[in-house]
């Protein structure tokens, strides 16, 4: 479901039958099977398997160096594992590239903000629409005919995202001037502009104060509820993980040590020993 559809119809969720199902009853959209990834002699991921189901919020947690970001990089095609498979909607992906993953409905944000610092909020979010632009390149250059109409439509969708994220006041502000919390919100907006089916969030709360975390948590919940977007997120704040996620994967030194509901994972002794019992 697109963002404007949610606005036009007032629908709370685009797929109510799926939304009413528990996480283990929903269809699998992405399946990670026995994935291993090494850099020279360093084993970043070791024989990890888990799935992500339609419409859920799937958290990936663990101590620093556990392989969490490497796993997101494998999912969106930035890294290619030496062993194992990634299956997207039942189709095994081989040598997937990030731009192909994006065209297939997988978008992501980054642990360190990756925005065009000299460009405005609006233009940064507009850049997320680039893969959806279909008009002739020459028409785009001269801003003529179909390209002009297409840009008007893309700008309309971007303005909807700006309204959704409540950043109207900074729409023309260069992002380099923005405080860190707002930059993270703009980066979320750029990912949403791709209208993803699966949204990968790499530490979306990192560096935020309590109020900023509360705002970002609200937006993540609304993206999941209103747009039906499936979300996989890396997060260190266990309060956020407990509040947002349906299921949690726990990695430690590249190995999967737990997989279950937030309550199950929080009570798992391996997780307590490796992560929750250690200051972070």
DSSP string, 249-271: EEEETTEEEEEE-HHHHHT-HHH
Which residues make Cβ contacts (< 8 Å) with residue 17, sequence separation at least 6? none
**Could you tell me the sign of the dihedral formed by the alpha carbons of 177, 179, 182, 183, in that order?**
positive
CA 245/CA 231 separation, integer angstroms: 9
pLDDT tens figures, 149-197: 667 778 888 999 999 999 999 999 999 999 988 999 999 999 999 999 9
Cβ(197)–Cβ(209) under 8 Å? no
pLDDT tens figures, 71-83: 999 999 999 999 9
pLDDT tens figures, 93-128: 877 788 888 889 999 988 777 788 889 999 999 888
Does residue 135 register a pLDDT over 70? Answer: no
- Longest CA–CA separation in the chain, Å: 63
Does residue 16 register a pLDDT over 60? Answer: no
pLDDT score, position 5: 40
pLDDT score, position 172: 94
Does residue 14 register a pLDDT over 60? Answer: no
Strand partners, 83: 36
CA 127/CA 189 separation, integer angstroms: 10
* Percent of the chain surpassing pLDDT 70: 84
Of residues 193, 196, 170, the one with CA closest to residue 183: 170
Q: pLDDT confidence of 7, banded at 50, 70, 90?
A: very low
pLDDT score, position 147: 56
* Percent of the chain surpassing pLDDT 90: 61
pLDDT score, position 132: 62
Does residue 220 register a pLDDT over 90? Answer: yes
In order of their start, the domains of the chain are 3-105+196-276 (3.40.50.300), 118-194 (no CATH)
pLDDT score, position 110: 84
Between 134 and 169, the higher pLDDT residue:
169
* Mean pLDDT for all residues in the chain: 84
pLDDT score, position 82: 93
Token pair of 163, please? 């309204």
pLDDT tens figures, 24-73: 788 999 999 999 999 988 999 999 999 999 999 999 999 988 999 999 99
């Amino acid at each position: 479901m697109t963002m404007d559809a949610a606005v036009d119809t007032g629908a709370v969720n685009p797929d109510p039958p799926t939304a009413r199902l528990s996480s283990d009853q929903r269809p699998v959209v992405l399946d990670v099977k026995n994935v291993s990834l090494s850099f020279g002699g360093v084993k970043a991921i070791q024989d990890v398997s888990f799935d992500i189901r339609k419409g859920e919020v799937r958290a990936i947690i663990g101590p620093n160096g556990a392989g969490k970001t490497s796993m997101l990089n494998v999912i969106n095609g930035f890294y290619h594992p030496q062993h194992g498979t990634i299956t997207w909607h039942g189709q095994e992906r081989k040598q997937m590239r990030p731009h192909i993953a994006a065209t297939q409905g997988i978008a992501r944000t980054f642990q360190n903000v990756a925005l065009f610092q000299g460009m405005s909020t609006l233009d940064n979010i507009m850049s997320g629409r680039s893969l959806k632009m279909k008009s002739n390149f020459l028409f785009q250059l001269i801003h003529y005919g179909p390209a002009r109409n297409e840009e008007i439509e893309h700008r309309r969708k971007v303005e909807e995202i700006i309204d959704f994220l409540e950043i109207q006041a900074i729409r023309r502000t260069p992002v380099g001037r923005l405080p860190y919390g707002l930059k993270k919100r703009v980066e979320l907006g750029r990912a949403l502009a791709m209208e993803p089916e699966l949204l990968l969030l790499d530490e979306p709360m990192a560096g935020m104060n309590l109020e900023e975390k509360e705002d970002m948590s609200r937006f993540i919940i609304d993206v999941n509820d209103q747009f039906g977007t499936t979300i996989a997120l890396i997060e260190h704040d266990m309060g956020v993980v407990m509040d947002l996620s349906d299921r949690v994967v726990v990695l430690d030194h590249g190995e999967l040590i737990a997989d279950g509901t937030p309550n199950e994972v929080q009570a798992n002794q391996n997780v307590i020993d490796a992560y929750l019992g250690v200051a972070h």
